Chain A
Amino acid sequence: MYSRRLLEEFRKNSIETGDRIRVVSAGAEYSGFLMPRPAGGDDDTIVLKLDNGYNTGLKAESVELIAKAPKKPPAPANEAGPVARGGIAILGCGGTIASKIEYRTGAVYPSITPRELRMAFPTLKKWDIHSRQIFSLFSEDMGAKHWRMLADAIEDEIKDGSEGVVVMHGTDTMTYTSAAISYMLQNLPVPIVLVGSQRSSDRPSSENEMNMLNSVYSATQDLGEVAVCMHASTSDDYCHLHRGTRVRKMHTSRRDAFHSINAHPLAAVDYRSKRFERLSEWVPRRKGGLVAKKELNDNVAMVYIHPNIRPDLFARLDDYDGIVLVGTGLGHTPANAFEDKTVKGVVRPIRELVSSGIPVAMASQCISGRICMRVYSSGRLLMEAGVIGDGADWTPEAAYAKMCWARGQAKDVKEIGRLMMENVAGEITARSAIEGY
């Protein structure tokens, strides 16, 4: 956003972003197109796109309009007319996997109509696809409300005969969504594949195309699960298909950021060579109809346990309906089992939360491995206080989404505890395979 002074100057000269203008700066004259101000830098400096294509920042002594930019109506996100059914449904939630940049202004728009998708990914022509935009958000802005909207849309698609569903999604919280959908939509007759990209689609090097095509290819397979399809390595060679409740984003920026935790990926996928190689057992397409249990409660907190954590923090959590602790080690918090004067345990306030009817579950910061609160006194004290999760090998994200879901499904704390510890979609497994780490 430009400074007030410049905005006023633009207004006086009827100048808007995209217009061709003349700027005098340091005594020299420059003409070009007015660009929007990016974040950062000095908002009192004009950003001009010169005729050589470069943007440059100029302190203007004067500014004058040369020509207005042609007006163009924004393209509708969804195509008008009846939406096609059958084939593979591609649903857009936002993220950078399929967006396009407007070079004139530098703005990024989501692209979602099948035509635009086919333009972005010409190889999609191989498959019968249809698409629609559910919403367009950064995934870090998404929450239970959006999981619900997405689950509704997927349910509609399945009822309308789609043979597979692909969801384009930002990568940051993709694994919360994949876990939530895994609980909300059960007995799946078709695959539901979430896909994103770590490199934005405005780069020629974006891995979006390969991820997208491998997702659509996966959605045609005999799979009855919610899965995430992302790069398996830093090379553009093949993707891994991960179980929606087992997958976690393990790197801030690499293409191969997504890993299956305590498990192997479901499959190695490469549409080019028609490879859909089984890496672990999966559930095939289910008969008997989709089971939708879509009620959620979004009033759930997740607390990362750390040294110096104070008991009064927990007292402030009493208006939440559920809490997931991300504990240390096997599932611990400071508990002061030795009753040392220099230590402040937090078991008492946790016990108070549980006794006031708020379910509290445990996951581990170790990410890999199983919660075993029976081993040390700290854990035993937490179990006595009513913390659930002992024996669960879930990821923090799968545990969090599970709490939102369980809290939406039941009111009774005991019933919630039972739902939490019952495996719904592979979030809790009975055996820890030796080679799973």
Chain B
Amino acid sequence: MKIGIEIHQRLDTAKLFCNCPSALAGEDEKPRCAIMRRLHPVLSEMGEADEASQAEFAKDRAFEYHAYSNNCLVEADEEPPALLNPEALRIALQVAMQLNATPVSEVHIMRKMVIDGSNTSGFQRTAIVAMNGHIDSSQGTIRIPLIAIEEESAGIVSATEGKATYRLDRLGIPLIEISTDPDIRDGAHLSEVAEKIGMMLRTSGKVARGLGTIRQDVNISTEGGSRVELKGAQDLKMLPAYVENEVNRQTLLLKLLLEIRERKALPVKTHMVELSDLLRMSKAAIIAGGIKAGCAVIGQRLPEHEGLLGMEIQPGKRYGTELSDYAKKAGVKGIIHSDEDLSKYGITEAEEAAVRGALGADDDDAFVLVVAPIGQAKSAMEFVLQRANMDFIPGETRRANPDGTSSFMRPLPGRARLYPETDVPPIPLTQALLASIERAEPLAEKKARLEKMLNKEMAGRVLKSRHLHCFERLVSAGADPMLAATTLEDTLVSLRREGVEFSDIEKTLTELFSEFRRGSFVKAAIPEVLKGMAKGARVDAVLKVYRLQKISGPELEAIAMQNDFDMRAIMQKYRLQVDPQEVAEVIKEGKKEQGKDFI
């Protein structure tokens, strides 16, 4: 088994080829306008077949794009791209150096043809920044042949057969793409490598955080099987499950294939029969409803396939599911097949017998039904037959499902169709530029440094935290590391649960800690002070209004005396204003004084 991984990480900068911010539109923001476009294949000298497939993909599909306030004419494909964002390039170079890669002499921006509509231009801009990197892992060196910088695609809103709708707010956000060679041994190793690279990215600088900002594509090839690319894995914890399920899937498919060969069940000849009239009186909802809506029922016999479609090849997914995933390419919802419990659809035994009769399918045969408008149903069935007739395990691009399984998306792409982006000149990476890139602190060193200033547990949390860079800046401005860490990782979290939010956490905490160093309030008051500050007040005003100023000296002594030097009573009343250690000292001193009086 060979495993490689491709990591795509969004950067926290403006967009790659325009000056729009990379922040996504707010949930309640309405699109400013909708643009309708079509894409069409571009003439090339790369051969007719390629064009044919492109033409098929793009055939008469309309794409609607929703533009938001953070979009400009560049994302709308109405203005040439600006020069490549230099900040994004610097971050990519910094990451490349951390991955021990050699920057190229000159960055050439390429167009990668994408015709599913997810880029308004019909291509994604991408450029190699560095090559020949590597990182160490517990099981040896992982080679990193390629580090590229590219633009994020538009986010899909909805898709039907004839039209797909995308939102443009995501289009053009810079991504770093890191690809490894197939040097990864197994699922656990994959997690380790992905985590290590992910951590390097997060700790080194300006990368975006939060859901969807990092994506993993996993390449798996097995002995006797095929190469499969699993796209869009977001949860690192699931990576071993993806590997395990894919290996099992291919092992089971191989077993299935041997059985198919044993039964001499291939090739399946195309012989589609329209069964609409036969099933016109059916009570099965899917059939009756379909026919009423003008759909046809198309059937096809799969000779000698009895039982095969019901074989489970992934948890909860059978060979029939694979055929169904292919059928979905034609835009249908799925298929009905004879290894399913047909009664659950409401198909009676008599109807099944009639269908078998019409298709000429005996007990050793399986059959597949598709309910859809006739053209679509036929094309769905063609996809089913295409898959059924594969006397091998197909190389595929599959979607990584959240449950650890995967679903067919499309055949593996051929070599990417790349051609130069002539609107943006190449960028020489001069010695001066490379020398000016700040080297990121190696992960191990950073970890050791944090462990020294915090404890091991907190160091680990801070290292993984989205506030890591904020923490570093607060500490270098003089904040106590442990206090800064607990405030960021604990206090803010519990305040957020209470609904307390800050517009600028770093600014608030900088002000808070600088006042704290002056001794104006005590640690225990921090959550209360922050609550006041969240409302927009300055820290000194909060202390005054909420009576949170620290009490010490003669005032504290007086309070101690009033409370008979009872620590519990004092702390109960003045917890947010006194330093317990100081109270203890005052009590000790006070009791000494009292003792003297008795003498």
A→B interface (CB under 8 Å): 25-26, 28, 30, 35, 38-42, 45, 47, 50-59, 100-104, 106, 111, 116, 119-120, 122, 199, 201-206, 209-210, 234-237, 252-255
Contact = CB atoms under 8 A, between A and B. Distances in A.
B147 to A, nearest CB: 12
8 contacts: A25-B105, A45-B426, A53-B112, A56-B107, A100-B43, A103-B45, A103-B417, A202-B42
Contacts of B420: 35, 38, 55, 106
Given A101-B419, A103-B417, A104-B45, A205 B121 contact: yes
A202 B419 contact: yes
Contacts of A234: 35, 76, 78
Interface in B73-116: 73, 76-80, 102, 104-108, 110-113, 115
Contacts of B562: none
A26 B131 CA distance: 11
Contacts, number: 146
Contact of A57 (B44, B113, B417, B426): B426
Given A38-B425, A53-B112, 10 more contacts: A28-B132, A45-B106, A51-B415, A53-B110, A54-B418, A202-B419, A204-B41, A206-B42, A234-B78, A236-B38
Contacts of B127: 54
B128 interface: yes
Contact of B115 (A100, A104, A204): A204
B106 A42 contact: yes
Given A28-B132, A102-B45, A57 B104 contact: yes
Nearest 3 interchain pairs by C-beta: A57-B106, A204-B122, A40-B425
Given A106-B419, A199-B77, A253-B80, A205 B104 contact: no
B58 A204 contact: yes
Contacts of A55: 108, 110, 418, 420
B37 A57 contact: no
A205 B122 contact: yes
Query: Main SS of chain A's interface residues?
Result: loop
A235 B426 contact: no
A203 B104 contact: no
Interface of B: 35-46, 55, 58, 62, 73, 76-80, 102, 104-108, 110-113, 115, 120-123, 126-128, 131-132, 146, 148, 415-420, 422, 425-428
A208 to B, nearest CB: 9
A38 B122 contact: no
Nearest to B112: A53
B428 A209 contact: no
Given A205-B122, A234-B35, A234-B78, A52 B146 contact: yes
A40 B426 CA distance: 6
B106 A41 contact: yes
A56 B104 contact: yes
Nearest to A47: B108
Given A101-B44, A234-B78, A205 B120 contact: yes
B418 A38 contact: no
Given A28-B132, A103-B45, A204 B78 contact: no
A127 to B, nearest CB: 18
Contacts of A52: 146, 415-416
A41 B126 CA distance: 17
A120 B46 contact: no
A252 B62 CA distance: 26
Contact of B43 (A25, A26, A119, A253): A119
B107 A57 contact: yes
A55 B131 CA distance: 13
A59 B44 contact: no
A207 to B, nearest CB: 9
B226 to A, nearest CB: 20
Contacts of A53: 110, 112, 415-418
B43 A28 contact: no
Nearest to B420: A106
B102 A28 contact: yes
Nearest to A98: B43
